Structure 1
């Protein structure tokens, strides 16, 4: 690789990260693409293991042709290093330069992982997001899955989570999850959107001319709804799962009709026999690395018109800047990668990308308006409902604790378990905020689990400028 080219490190190989790598290479940079998975694609283009490669992957993925062309172009490029199964566990700030990137390479559960330190000229953060799941009685039973986990097993392993499944929560993501489970062999009993039909229609129906730029999304939606209709899967609005029951695993769920604020309408409870349930109430951006880099965060990472964060030399793209779907994430990645590599900011292609990026941001705002989380969801909770699964902290214990956010967490252990508040963090923060207690859940010096032996081992490589 030429030493004169800018060295751009891209963290995350989903639509945003892969787009950033492609654009940076096109602008002449040396690129190191880092991801914890075996294959690029992220959740949207999650691939089967090589031993079980699909004969017709285009049947499992939207936009497969474009993704496959980009993947081959990036991974086969002489100026690109693809680091699979590599976890970024820390970022070290260095004055007015991009931070040092600490990476450990190797299988997460394997021995002998190697520790590396990268020193980029520019850094593109595209770690994505994960499902947010609001707690309800029984949500910690085996057989209750996040919708993302259920889809990952179906798309990445061709495994089904159960034979008779209910999908519940909020947002368009419920539809591709249902499609993945149906294609993998599950019987989907129903798909439940917690928001009322009026809320959904109001969010999507205002200024309908703005949807003209999202024709691809409309076609995708039509395909999913057609599949549900053919398989006779009901899609119900204003209803959700409010309780899961069972001995050793989930055996039945209680669904209920909800008001617009997500409080339960008394007398509308209904019990359904299932062997699995998957739930998603939107997405939580993975903000540990942006926080470590010193980026300003207002719910999402704050970026300027160039996708540049407030941290020197650090760009951000995808769900960490706003939840808008894979096409919008890809557009942000292309813009961030080109500019991080030193590409000209006034190129005609970049002007088009900015317009598409702005359309994606408008779509994100519309998505948030059509599928908000209602304040009344806490009416589902009981004092003995677990809110932090790692530490088995209950809603009652959290309400009884007093003091600052730090003291409450130390007293209840909420957010201090193995997941380090990645799952319960937003929920605990919201419940405490209602009591006037503030928390900072994303400020962790170590972003990923690391063995003490790995921390003590010498660095295998030092990437210089």
Structure 2
């Protein structure tokens, strides 16, 4: 809308990302509907070259200061692009994924990420279980639980690891974002309507079952976040865990941008007020700059797009939205931290890395017996994070465990070691052997 030629590479087959995920035959409404119609109009007018179903697996900076992006289709049914895409500037919006923490029994069928349960419901209308427990920490547990209940699942409870009293010190910040207060009230009403128990300072200490989930054993946390077991077992056939989100930083790190550790312990990209990184021509927006929700991501995207187009007059409203929602995000992360004593519920044989089947005992042995004091060394000695997911599932937990064993919090170097990958997504050997050359795009 500011006159710049744009190529939009979208890993989704429909616009909207994870937040506005919808079925193919559904026409979106509300705020997203307006954005969707604007994108369609710009695409029809030839001002946006929209390429859905395309994942960027490598981005490099050329000698002339421009950028080259290698892409791969999300599946065989999507037509590949004729060649790499080149651009003078790039705006990266890679999003993030559910943060996972290991717990005894978490590899059993019937244990999913909260975001995965929601994606199945939004995208396919599929309820992943009939008797469901939603557990972890953070506001995201609420829409997952209420969505599953509306779809017919019996949600036996929402187990929040923290106390709601942690919000009290952030009341002025919360009141500056009244939409969030109304949203929370709506979810509270939905929980009551569906008779979903909401327990605080409560975690899943163990998941029970043989060939799939049969029940969970709960524990109550003390003031230091250390679990105190209770013998109560709750029968479930699905556990949806939500421990916050981990930003996807493969593409920004390929370009060598500066990073920092955010309030929630995540590694994020450092940007200025125009969403610029320290690499000229590279802008980043959304969860990769700090997890803060859809409204914040939209405002950052608007600012980044205007700045990349050379007309950084994004207006006062987007900048004010970013300030208010970034402050709210900091309050949210402070109110919903990962429990300090979460590692206490691990047993020796609890798998930390499910891909390579690396148990907790192996991580501790690497530190105690082999002197591994950082996540990278533990990875080399135990193969944690070297399996199919390349650390996307276990990387954060492994870095935190290693730092805890070393008596310190995770550092930026620890987290970069688990987040940096030479390839952002899986690609075929044929693509690696020699990507076809084709006409470059603006």
1:338 to 306, 312, 315: 306
CA distance 1:184–1:460, change in 2 (3 Å): farther
What CA distance in whole angstroms lies between the structure 1 residues aligned with 2:245 and 2:127? 22
2:70 to 84, 102, 110: 102
5+ residue gaps in structure 1? 1-25, 58-63
What CA distance in whole angstroms lies between the structure 2 residues aligned with 1:406 and 1:238? 32
Partner of 1:461: 438
1:234 to 179, 184, 197: 197
Partner of 2:165: 201
TM-score (norm 2): 0.91
How many residues are paired up? 421
How far residue 185 of structure 1 moved from its aligned partner, in angstroms, is 1.5
The question of whether the paired residues in 2 share the 8 Å contact of 1:34 and 1:86 is answered with yes
> Structure 1, residues 244-279: CA drift from partner, whole Å, max 9, x if none?
11111101111111123321124x242001111100
5+ residue gaps in structure 2? 261-266
What CA distance in whole angstroms lies between the structure 1 residues aligned with 2:217 and 2:76? 37
Q: Is residue 167 of structure 1 aligned with residue 134 of structure 2?
A: yes
How far residue 108 of structure 1 moved from its aligned partner, in angstroms, is 2.5
| Structure 1 stretch displaced more, 373-382 or 207-216 | 207-216
Task: Give the SS at the match of 1:44.
Answer: coil
Partner of 2:184: 221
How far residue 407 of structure 1 moved from its aligned partner, in angstroms, is 4.2
> Structure 1, residues 200-247: CA drift from partner, whole Å, max 9, x if none?
323x22252332331222222111111110111011111011111111
How far residue 365 of structure 1 moved from its aligned partner, in angstroms, is 0.7
After TM superposition, the structure 1 = structure 2 runs for residues 71-150 of structure 1, keeping only pairs within 5 Å, are: 71-77=36-42, 78=45, 79-95=47-63, 97-105=65-73, 107-108=74-75, 113-114=80-81, 116-150=83-117
CA RMSD of aligned residues (A): 1.9
Task: Give the SS at the match of 1:365.
Answer: helix
TM-score (norm 1): 0.86
> Structure 1, residues 400-450: CA drift from partner, whole Å, max 9, x if none?
112454443233110001111011001111111223496411221111100
What CA distance in whole angstroms lies between the structure 2 residues aligned with 1:149 and 1:464? 34
What CA distance in whole angstroms lies between the structure 2 residues aligned with 1:406 and 1:133? 19
1:289 to 224, 244, 251: 251
| Structure 1 stretch displaced more, 92-101 or 297-306 | 92-101
What CA distance in whole angstroms lies between the structure 2 residues aligned with 1:110 and 1:395? 40
The question of whether the paired residues in 2 share the 8 Å contact of 1:425 and 1:441 is answered with yes
Partner of 1:33: 8
2:241 to 275, 279, 283: 279
CA distance 1:98–1:422, change in 2 (3 Å): farther
How far residue 158 of structure 1 moved from its aligned partner, in angstroms, is 0.5
| Structure 1 stretch displaced more, 64-73 or 417-426 | 64-73
What CA distance in whole angstroms lies between the structure 2 residues aligned with 1:47 and 1:137? 34
Q: Is residue 363 of structure 1 aligned with residue 328 of structure 2?
A: yes
After TM superposition, the structure 1 = structure 2 runs for residues 265-276 of structure 1, keeping only pairs within 5 Å, are: 265-266=228-229, 268-276=230-238
How far residue 115 of structure 1 moved from its aligned partner, in angstroms, is 6.0
Q: Is residue 44 of structure 1 aligned with residue 19 of structure 2?
A: yes
Partner of 1:261: 224
